[in-house]
Amino acid sequence: MTDVATRSPILKVWKEALPLPVVEFAYTEFRLMRDALLAMGSKEGYNDPTVPGCFSWYSPLCFEALSLYVQPKVEKMLGTDLLPTYSYGRIYTEGSELEKHTDRRSSQLAVNVSLARDIRWDLHFEWKGQDLMVDLKPGDVVIYSGDTIPHWRDKYTGKEHVN
């Protein structure tokens, strides 16, 4: 991967990137993880400072596996080798809002995979001086320079959105 100071920003939308059975498996695994913790009386996973009140987890095994599954496809698309750093999953619920931000340096390249949704909820990017809104259906992916491209989501009005 090129040095962060010299690379051009990347923003690519990849529709129908992942087969729905793979998407449904990852979604089910992550939801079961949340539900098992709740069944044990644990509030673990509900301490996300970025989006309070949402269940989130740093590097859940199901998303680490998904990362390895999608990596060769992303490398081919971008024409470069990638070094995975981490995965992160979040289950947004009604009222959630992702404030405008950029990610930490280890997110030089972010690969956001949509796993489940009940309503359209665009991911916004500040791209070339404009607000670019991206609609991701389950199985769709957006690849972007997470550490340099500001991105956000408005207040969520649905019941559940997972990526």
* Adjacency order of strands within the sheet including 141-144: 11-14, 141-144, 110-113
Q: Distance (Å, rounded) from C-alpha 118 to C-alpha 152?
A: 19
Please give the single-letter amino acid code of residue 86: Y
Tens-digit pLDDT profile for residues 84-141: 889 999 999 999 999 999 988 878 899 999 999 999 999 999 999 999 999 999 999 9
On the question of pLDDT at 6 being above 60, the answer is no
What are residue 112's DSSP bridge partners? 142
- The model's pTM is 0.91
Tens-digit pLDDT profile for residues 25-42: 999 999 999 999 999 999
Tens-digit pLDDT profile for residues 59-83: 999 999 999 999 999 999 999 999 9
129 φψ region: left (φ > 0), alpha (ψ -120 to 50), beta (else) = left
